[in-house]
Amino acid sequence: MVGTLKSRRNNGWQGLGSDAGAGRKVLGSRVRAFTLVELLVVIAIIGTLVGLLLPAVQAAREAANRMSCNNNLKQQGLAVTLHHDAKKTYPSGRNTREQIGVSWAFRMLPFMEETSIANAYVPTARADDTLNSQAMRTAVSAFFCPSRRAPNNTRNFDNNNEAPLVLAAAAGGDYSANAGTYFNYSAENGAGVDGRQAGPIFTFSAVKAAWVIDGLSQTFAIGERHMIPVDPTWPQNMVHYWQGDTSMFGADTPHCLFRDTARGLASGPKDTNSRKFGSQHAGGLVNFVFLDGHVESLASDIDLDVLRWYSTIGDGNDATRPADGPSGGGT
Could you give phi then psi for residue 81, rounded to 5 degrees? -65, -45
**Helices marked H in 88-154 — which ranges?**
104-107, 115-119, 133-137
* DSSP label of 154: -
Q: Using alpha carbons, list the distances in angstroms from residue 132 to 94, 99, 100, 137, 261.
A: 17, 12, 10, 8, 33
Q: Please indicate, yes or no, if residue 269 is contained in any of the structural domains.
A: yes
Q: Please indicate, yes or no, if residue 319 is contained in any of the structural domains.
A: no
HSE-CB at 205 with a 13 A cutoff on CA atoms is: 36
Q: How many CB atoms are located within 10 Å of the residue 326 CB?
A: 21
Q: Please indicate, yes or no, if residue 261 is contained in any of the structural domains.
A: yes
Q: What is the largest CA-CA distance in the chain?
A: 135
Could you give phi then psi for residue 143, rounded to 5 degrees? -100, 10
Instruction: Please provide the distance, in angstroms rounded to a whole number, between the alpha carbons at the two ends of the chain.
Output: 126
User: What's the pLDDT score for residue 31?
Assistant: 59
Q: Please indicate, yes or no, if residue 66 is contained in any of the structural domains.
A: no
Q: For 101, left (φ over 0), alpha (ψ -120 to 50), or beta?
A: left
d(CA 257, CA 265): 16
Mean pLDDT over the full length of the chain: 87
Condensed to tens digits (0 to 9), the pLDDT of residues 205-252 reads: 999 999 999 999 999 999 999 999 999 999 999 999 999 999 999 999
**Tally of structural domains, the chain:** 1
Q: Please indicate, yes or no, if residue 235 is contained in any of the structural domains.
A: yes
HSE-CB at 131 with a 13 A cutoff on CA atoms is: 9
Residue 71 pLDDT exceeds 90: yes
Q: Please indicate, yes or no, if residue 113 is contained in any of the structural domains.
A: yes
- Does residue 247 contact residue 127 with C-beta atoms inside 8 Å? yes
- Does residue 136 contact residue 128 with C-beta atoms inside 8 Å? yes
Residue 14 pLDDT exceeds 60: no
- Does residue 193 contact residue 179 with C-beta atoms inside 8 Å? no
Q: Please indicate, yes or no, if residue 60 is contained in any of the structural domains.
A: no
User: What's the pLDDT score for residue 264?
Assistant: 97
pLDDT interval class at 84 (50, 70, 90): very high
**Ordered DSSP codes for 52-96:** HHHHHHHHHHHHHHHHHHHHHHHHHHHHHHHHHHHHSSPPPSBS-
Q: Please indicate, yes or no, if residue 133 is contained in any of the structural domains.
A: yes
Q: How many CB atoms are located within 10 Å of the residue 65 CB?
A: 17
Strands (DSSP E) found in the chain: 175-180, 220-224, 258-260, 285-290, 295-299
User: What's the pLDDT score for residue 6?
Assistant: 47
Condensed to tens digits (0 to 9), the pLDDT of residues 165-205 reads: 999 999 999 999 999 999 999 987 667 899 999 999 999 99
Q: How many CB atoms are located within 10 Å of the residue 63 CB?
A: 12
User: What's the pLDDT score for residue 49?
Assistant: 77
**Ordered DSSP codes for 5-34:** HHHHHHHHHHHHHHHHHHHHHHHH------
**Residue-number span of the structural domain to which 256 is assigned:** 73-311
